[in-house]
Amino acid sequence: MQQDAPKVRLFVDAPLGDGAAVALERAQAHYLFTVMRLGQGDAVALFNGRDGEWRAVATEAGRKGGALRCAALLRPQAEGPDLDLIFAPIKKARTDFIAEKACEMGARRLIPCLTRFTNAERVNVERLRAHAVEAAEQCEILSVPQVLAPAPLAALLDAWEAGRRLMVCDEARDAPPAMDALRAAGREAGSGPGPWAVLIGPEGGFAPEERARLSEAPFVTRVSLGPRVLRADTAAVAALALWQAALGDWRA
């Protein structure tokens, strides 16, 4: 069906369905009708992260707003693995990058996490979400990771969801190779991987008490990402790739 997909893709919040009308905000109308030079009757691919991807036609093309009407389902919504990415915020450009990559790599939620050595500039949740949305629009992805409010690491661990496992990428060199550890965890889990999260530590590393707490948590799988120090954004992509390959939708 991809041959029929319009070249312009747009993420919207509104519900999508056969015949559904979608009102456009000013910025969206500007993008479609001024930047992309579409007009009334032209087609756009719409997705909202919930209802699949729809071919929609512009029914009203104004400078300050407009409307589209859903005409045909292009792709049904497909749920990826239940995978969170928890990361300690770093410099703004690299944090933006992590949001973009989390989307491409199929994370379902993105959770900024404050640790003792987090060099936290303020985390702008809306900005992270915008980067994830842009990645989804450009990469033909149907799901946009939910971006949660920043939370201290201890609070996340205190409120840990029963049954969710946590892959901790630890720069201490005594953890087993990630691929081996994940495959072993997968064999224990049986049929499906179940819910997981990946935790990328701050650039200064975890504090000793944080490392101790993570080591003791029964839901944690500590892994090593090789012999070189990785920046946090690199570690995020690498860890998600290994998780998807071992347990997620990159398998056969």
CB 59 within 8 A of CB 29: no
Q: Which stretch binds a second copy (CB under 8 A): 43-51, 104-112, 118-126, 207-215?
A: 104-112
Query: Pick from 9, 55, 101, 129: which binds a second copy (CB under 8 A)?
Result: 101
Helix axes 178-189, 232-246, angle to 10 degrees: 40
- CA-nearest of 202, 197, 209 to 233 is 202
Query: Pick from 104, 127, 146, 205: which binds a second copy (CB under 8 A)?
Result: 104
Q: Binding to a second copy by residue 153, rule CB under 8 A?
A: no
* Residue closer to a second copy, measured from CB, 157 or 223: 223
Per-residue interface string for the shown chain with a second copy, residues 229-248, x marking contact by CB under 8 A: xxx--x--xx-xxx-xxx-x
Q: Binding to a second copy by residue 31, rule CB under 8 A?
A: no
CB 101 within 8 A of CB 237: yes
* Residue closer to a second copy, measured from CB, 51 or 137: 137
State in angstroms the smallest separation of the CB of 70 from a second copy: 23
AA identity, residue 11: F
Query: Pick from 56, 90, 135, 199: which binds a second copy (CB under 8 A)?
Result: 135
Tell me the torsion sign for CA atoms 14, 17, 23, 24.
Answer: positive
Q: Binding to a second copy by residue 57, rule CB under 8 A?
A: no
* Residue closer to a second copy, measured from CB, 19 or 227: 227
- CA-nearest of 130, 127, 131, 132 to 106 is 132
Q: Binding to a second copy by residue 124, rule CB under 8 A?
A: no
Running DSSP on this structure, what letter comes out for residue 214?
A: H
**Burial call 46-77: b when 16+ CB within 10 Å, e when fewer:** bbbbebbbbbbbbeebeeeebbbbbeebbeee
Q: Binding to a second copy by residue 251, rule CB under 8 A?
A: yes
CB 1 within 8 A of CB 75: yes
Beta bridge partners of 223: 169
Tokens 């319009």 belong to: 6
State in angstroms the smallest separation of the CB of 139 from a second copy: 4
Tokens 């009334």 belong to: 40
- CA-nearest of 65, 66, 64 to 56 is 66
Per-residue interface string for the shown chain with a second copy, residues 165-204, x marking contact by CB under 8 A: -----------xxxxx------------------------
* Residue closer to a second copy, measured from CB, 217 or 241: 241
Q: Which stretch binds a second copy (CB under 8 A): 49-57, 93-101, 113-121, 151-159?
A: 93-101
Give me the residues that bind a second copy (CB under 8 A), please.
97, 100-101, 104-106, 135, 138-141, 176-180, 224-231, 234, 237-238, 240-242, 244-246, 248-252
